Amino acid sequence: MVKELRSSRTTLRRGTAVALALSVALTSVSPAAAQSLSDRFKSLFGGKPDEPAPPNPAPAPGQPAEDDMDCPQVTVRSGASTYAVGANGKQAVGNDIRFQATITKMARECARSGGDITARIGIQGRVIAGPAGAPATVEVPLRIAVVQGGVGEKVIASKAYRTTVQMSEGGSVPFTFIAEDLAYPVPSAAVADSYIFYVGFDPQALSPGPKGRKKK
């Protein structure tokens, strides 16, 4: 009876030690994971993870400080968060999927020059090979727009982009794209809060532009 009691106490102590070790491990991992996520956002715009962000330059005469300028929030357009391609023109469902791309993270910066704002939009995503097998390179079509929200949504500026992703044998490849040329007029204070950046996949970005009409 005494031996069984000692054995149970030993087991309990071991279980407590294991639980404590797991608790310490989880506590120590969380800040590192958060720092890693922050570093990835910094590197998205060209900064080194282990260096502090550079200070904002002094505003030009007559221009507001960087902190005083509204930079709209960025979000994924509803229905445009994934992009899938099927084999041989088939629908991208089931075993006919060649690859599927998704958007995972976004970031943005804004710079004012005169009466215009130039936005720098960063997109991170991933391309995953499907059952039908992905090609060696994948063209990912993207669209970024600045929209004035409200009852009657108004598109202020919109641009289509594409980026090429080199697939690997693992079949799951991350990609990063940064658009630096989306410009739009500085909004009035009355509507600035309703502005928003929308990002998403747009297959039409892969289509050739319309040809001009021939002169008679």
Mean per-residue pLDDT for 74-101?
92
Query: Which CATH number applies to 66-206?
Result: 2.60.40
Helix (H, G, I), strand (E, B) or coil at 132: coil
User: Any idea where the domains of the chain sit in the sequence?
Assistant: 1-48, 66-206
Q: What is the pLDDT of residues 172-208, one digit of tens each?
A: 999 999 999 999 999 999 999 999 999 999 998 777 6
**Bridge partners of residue 99, in order along the sequence:** 85, 129
* Sequence letter at residue 21: A
What local confidence, expressed as pLDDT, does residue 151 receive? 83
What local confidence, expressed as pLDDT, does residue 122 receive? 93
Asked if pLDDT for residue 81 goes beyond 50, the answer is: yes
Supply φ then ψ for residue 38, to 5 degrees: -65, -40
Mean per-residue pLDDT for 66-87?
84
Q: In percent, how much of the chain has pLDDT > 90? A: 52
**Bridge partners of residue 105, in order along the sequence:** 124
Asked if pLDDT for residue 87 goes beyond 50, the answer is: yes
What local confidence, expressed as pLDDT, does residue 69 receive? 57
Residue of 39, 71, 84, 179 lying closest to 123 (CA atoms): 179
The C-alpha atoms of residue 103 and residue 161 are separated, in whole angstroms, by 14
**Bridge partners of residue 147, in order along the sequence:** 155, 196
Helix (H, G, I), strand (E, B) or coil at 184: strand
